[in-house]
Structure 1
Amino acid sequence: MMLVAFRGPPPHARPMMLGEAAALMQGGPVPTGSWTVTRYRSDPPPLMEPGQMEDRGMAAQIAGLLGARPSDVRVLREQPPMRMADPDRKLWPQPGPDRMMLHGSVLLARHIGDGWQVVQARQGANLRWYAITLSLMAGIFILLLLPAYWVARRITQPIRRLAEGAATERPERADPLPLTGPPEVRAVGAAYNHMRARIADYLNERTAMLVAIAHDLRTPMTRLSFRLEALPDGPRAKAQADVEEMRAMVTDLLDFMRGQGDAAAHVRIDLSAIVETLADDLADIGQDVTVTRSARAVIRGDAIALRRCVANLVENAVRYGGSARIALAIVGGRVTVAVEDDGPGVPPDAIERLCEPFYRGEASRNRETGGVGLGLAIARRIADDHGGRLDFANRTEGGLRASVTLPLERQG
């Protein structure tokens, strides 16, 4: 619209009638419109410039209106771009002064005394037309903007839901996407739902297989423990330690894989009571665990799972740092349980991998120092199941800070 409207010249502004031109030469007001008028006196008669022509017919009409001789009035106006001969022009009715008009740039001169009174008038752009056109365009744009925005949102809403569903942490647990929108978007949504169902089936099969294998390993390990009783004391103690390590690995694996299934029902619990009770229990068995800050934080969750989550973080801090300090803080609508230690910390490039299953920050495979590599993975899964997150950061004074953030229960 703007290209069509402003590419070509605007409509002509209001022209000047011969009566107004005569009044202008007598000192009258400037005609209405976009005319710019300059008055001055000249001793010699005004000369015709290139691109101008002298219109004796208009000069005679103006002279008649002024009561002057036609030779005392001169009219110089812009020359038309093209003049076409018309053999029948003499037969046309001659227009009167009230119908003759002046356009563009016009120079009017009248001989008075020993000089010439000159009036130079120039017609400007049709600013009123520009103002009306721009106002109409702006109004149309505003009127169309809101409907266009609403239509665009309606079209992109299924795509946005698809993007949000694909970005979820556990898409196999999410609800199927509603199949709405254009046919192409519905086809993509159906393909995504089918893919999500296949992923969920694959994970369930894998979980069931690993749980069955880990469960079946307990029986031969129990038989092996009985048979080790016949060994001498020295070899028997070492063999029993290996069996206990295998049993602990199987137990951790079962806990991790069983956590992939449906979570227990969430109830209203006080997280501070769980943290303080856990710290007291660990302190009673000789571990250096203290609560430095606590606050009542009511959340909805599984008390056993949350205790396991915090316990894994505390055991990790005691294993690598020798002690654990627990601080519970409430900010906004969320509660954060931070566990700090004085250990060596973790390389920055390894922080993101701490929650990977079977990843161990300690390079050796020593059970006493490195564990199995599932404790933090279990803690992250529990935090995710409760709508929270698990973060790690190295402390500036040394050591590692592990923080689990959970949403508080909403008050009705």
Structure 2
Amino acid sequence: MTSRLDRLNPSILTRIVALVAATLLLALGAMMLVAFRGPPPHSRPMMPGEAAALLQGAAAPAGSWTVTRYQSDPVPLVEPGQMEDRRGAAQVAALLGARADDVRLMRESPPMRMADPDREAWPRPNFGPDGMMLHGSFLLARRTTDGWQVVQARQGANGRWYAITLSLMAGIFILLLLPAYWVARRITQPIRQLADGAATERPERADPLPLTGPPEVRAVGAAYNHMRARIADYLGERTAMLVAIAHDLRTPMTRLSFRLEALPDGPRAKAQADVQEMRAMVTDLLDFMRGQGDGAAQVRIDLSAIVETLADDLADMGQDVAVTHSSRAVVRGDAVALRRCVANLIENAVRYGGSARIALATANGRATVTVEDDGPGVPEEAIERLCEPFYRGEASRNRETGGVGLGLSIARSIADSHGGRLDFGNRRADAGQGGLRASLTLPLER
């Protein structure tokens, strides 16, 4: 059963635009809420009556005003960034019942291009009975018999405004984080499945990708499934054609063997050797192409028994083959195919390196068969090509020094079909350990 969102199934563009629009609307709503319904960012301004009360010893008005009082002998001077407001001083003096010359008021200078408050042209809006408001910071001084009584006041920020603003920002962030993560996951999960499917070693054997997600991703998934099906059909046709050709070649080779019996002994032996080489090539080709198929039914197999049996058989034939370490490892697979895979690795080591040292170890749910030889090794640039069909590390095409070039290809194909992998690397020549190391890794049966 599909959900309502799956039935709607908006595109990636629509989802991103909707998320951005929701973000902008929530941010705009929060800004409007703070601007029109929240407290001001600063505490309210101070009225002249409240400033006059400070000179009479009253406490600072409610809010975030900071007031400092002190006594000064000389008259306070105007500091940089300040201006003297004689009109405001006269208004405070009138409220105190003092002379205008006995009161000084220094305020913050207005921004550039603004009129001087002392000028008659300065527009004075009606702010109430006091006629003005004090913002920012100011210094108010009154002459007394002992000098000047000074009051410095500074308007601070409104902590409540910051608390509300930061709380709204954090709430919007948390409110949008979960939907954004959900939308991003809905978009990226099908793309990740597509990437995983394309990264498989044998995509033509993998199951078709589920067509989920936005329409763009579903279109890409459908194209990938169609491509995978075409590759599988192409490989199937190629395999069937090569198997048929290789199989049909056996009949003329058999007739040719009978006809060679009429030749003299010398030429006949050489011709028979060529025919045997051709038969071996056809057999290897058939084994390689059969390895591209689905294989036989898989059963539980004791991998250590296969390794030890192969080593004993080759040692009995006079080959320098030995097992240096063996751990019991049970895997699931085709016993005949796995035996052929390990045998190809050992025979390759004996053919090119003169010996084979085999070790079987288990770790982290996987079994690893390592085959090492004492040969010259392989150039680093050629290691990746060792499993290419018909590629041989030995340059000549002599059957005495090498095969057709399908043995390692067959081994890798068998390893891939069992969910394992086949790796190659040169041993450490600087430590006196020359030669090639082949590692077959297979998952253990659970």
Judge same fold: TM > 0.5, yes or no: yes
Q: Secondary structure at the match of 2:41?
A: coil
Tell me the alpha carbon deviations over residues 247-301 of structure 1, each in whole angstroms, 9 at most, x when there is no partner: 0000000000111112211111111111111111222222221111111111111
- Contact between 1:21 and 1:62, CA under 8 Å: does it hold in 2? no
Alpha-carbon spacing, 1:15–1:356, altered in 2? closer, same or farther (3 Å): same
- Measured in 2, the distance between the counterparts of 1:376 and 1:88 equals 97
Amino acid of the residue matched to residue 14 of structure 1? R
1:249 aligns with 2:281: yes
2:92 equivalent in structure 1: 59
- Measured in 1, the distance between the counterparts of 2:296 and 2:122 equals 101
2:189 equivalent in structure 1: 157
Q: What is the CA-CA distance between 1:18 and the residue it aligns to?
A: 4.8
| Corresponding residue to 2:44 among 3, 10, 14 | 14
Where in structure 2 are the equivalents of 1:298-377 lying within 5 Å? 298-377=330-409
- Contact between 2:93 and 2:102, CA under 8 Å: does it hold in 1? no
Q: What is the CA-CA distance between 1:114 and the residue it aligns to?
A: 4.2
- Measured in 1, the distance between the counterparts of 2:425 and 2:406 equals 19
Percent identity of equivalent pairs: 81
Amino acid of the residue matched to residue 442 of structure 2? L
2:254 equivalent in structure 1: 222
Q: Any stretches of 5+ residues in structure 1 without a counterpart?
A: none
1:74 aligns with 2:104: yes
Where in structure 2 are the equivalents of 1:174-213 lying within 5 Å? 174-213=206-245
1:142 aligns with 2:178: no
Q: What is the CA-CA distance between 1:69 and the residue it aligns to?
A: 5.5
1:399 equivalent in structure 2: 435
Between stretches 131-140 and 24-33, larger displacement belongs to 24-33
Alpha-carbon spacing, 1:58–1:78, altered in 2? closer, same or farther (3 Å): farther
1:42 aligns with 2:72: yes
Amino acid of the residue matched to residue 105 of structure 2? V
Between stretches 123-132 and 229-238, larger displacement belongs to 123-132
Amino acid of the residue matched to residue 391 of structure 2? Y
1:173 aligns with 2:205: yes
- Contact between 2:349 and 2:373, CA under 8 Å: does it hold in 1? yes
2:16 equivalent in structure 1: none
Tell me the alpha carbon deviations over residues 170-204 of structure 1, each in whole angstroms, 9 at most, x when there is no partner: 11111111112222221111111111111111111
- Measured in 2, the distance between the counterparts of 1:88 and 1:327 equals 98
Tell me the alpha carbon deviations over residues 322-359 of structure 1, each in whole angstroms, 9 at most, x when there is no partner: 11111000111111000011111111111111000000
- Measured in 1, the distance between the counterparts of 2:91 and 2:406 equals 103
Q: What is the CA-CA distance between 1:102 and the residue it aligns to?
A: 2.6
1:110 equivalent in structure 2: 142
- Measured in 2, the distance between the counterparts of 1:236 and 1:30 equals 123
- Contact between 1:299 and 1:409, CA under 8 Å: does it hold in 2? yes
Alpha-carbon spacing, 1:87–1:263, altered in 2? closer, same or farther (3 Å): closer
Q: What is the CA-CA distance between 1:148 and the residue it aligns to?
A: 0.6
Tell me the alpha carbon deviations over residues 25-48 of structure 1, each in whole angstroms, 9 at most, x when there is no partner: 345555554434343333343345
Q: What is the CA-CA distance between 1:61 and the residue it aligns to?
A: 5.7
Q: What is the CA-CA distance between 1:128 and the residue it aligns to?
A: 4.0
TM-score when normalising by structure 1: 0.89
Tell me the alpha carbon deviations over residues 71-104 of structure 1, each in whole angstroms, 9 at most, x when there is no partner: 5333333466467979997xx79526xx975321
Tell me the alpha carbon deviations over residues 192-243 of structure 1, each in whole angstroms, 9 at most, x when there is no partner: 1111111111111111111111001000111111111111111111111111
Alpha-carbon spacing, 1:368–1:62, altered in 2? closer, same or farther (3 Å): farther
Amino acid of the residue matched to residue 347 of structure 1? P
Amino acid of the residue matched to residue 220 of structure 2? V
Alpha-carbon spacing, 1:61–1:403, altered in 2? closer, same or farther (3 Å): farther
> How many residues get paired?
400
1:280 equivalent in structure 2: 312
Tell me the alpha carbon deviations over residues 145-168 of structure 1, each in whole angstroms, 9 at most, x when there is no partner: 122111111012111111111111
